[in-house]
């Protein structure tokens, strides 16, 4: 049976590290944020965190809160897959309705201070430069329903230790029978 892990978690929690381990284990990866970032320039949106985040929000208002999940569905084939970055129960429900029992929701958790440091080190174009930007980004995600989704996760992985400890936890999850 094809397995699809839907990843959620606050920015900087470790979703990308989960993805790395999954790829090493043969999983296909669909990044919801990449779907947004690929669509934004086609619509003339500037590639800043605020502009891309605002675009994602406006698309949710126009087309419904599950729009980004709907746009990801065609990218899922018959391979074991990780969907990185679900932000709401609406999105998860799109995956569950379409894929049924193939889906498992996994939340990655880390403290805010650790997440902020990780995001700064990652130095991606949308990385927060200040604690205020970090707080605003978290609030935007919560406004989309991220907190409600995390609470519904079938599995929560705490990512507060070393990277190797986290990788071991991810391998355990990927090797579980379900």
Mean pLDDT by runs of 10 across the 178 residues of the chain is 92 94 96 89 81 87 94 92 92 95 95 92 79 85 83 96 96 88
| Dist. CA 172–CA 151, nearest whole Å | 21
78, burial (CB in 10 Å: exposed 0-12, middle 13-18, buried 19+) = exposed
pLDDT at position 46 is 84
pLDDT at position 14 is 95
pLDDT at position 90 is 92
**pTM (two decimals):** 0.85
CATH of 4-172, one of 3.30.210.10, 3.30.365.10, 3.30.420.40, 3.40.50.300: 3.40.50.300
């Amino acid at each position: 049976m094809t397995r699809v892990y839907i990843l959620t978690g606050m920015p900087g929690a470790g979703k990308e590290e989960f993805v790395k381990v999954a790829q090493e284990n043969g999983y296909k990866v669909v990044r919801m944020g990449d779907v947004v970032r690929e669509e934004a320039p086609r619509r003339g949106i500037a590639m800043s965190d605020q502009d891309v985040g605002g675009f994602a929000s406006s698309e949710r208002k126009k087309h419904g809160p599950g729009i980004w999940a709907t746009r990801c569905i065609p990218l899922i084939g018959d391979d074991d897959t990780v969907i990185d970055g679900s932000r709401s129960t609406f999105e998860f429900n799109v995956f569950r309705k379409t894929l049924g029992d193939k889906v498992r929701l996994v939340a990655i958790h880390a403290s805010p201070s650790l997440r902020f440091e990780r995001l700064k080190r990652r130095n991606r174009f949308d990385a927060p430069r200040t604690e205020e930007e970090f707080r605003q980004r978290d609030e935007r995600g919560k406004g989309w329903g991220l907190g409600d989704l995390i609470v519904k996760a079938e599995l929560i992985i705490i990512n507060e230790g070393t990277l190797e400890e986290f990788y071991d936890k991810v391998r355990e999850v990927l090797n579980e029978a379900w």
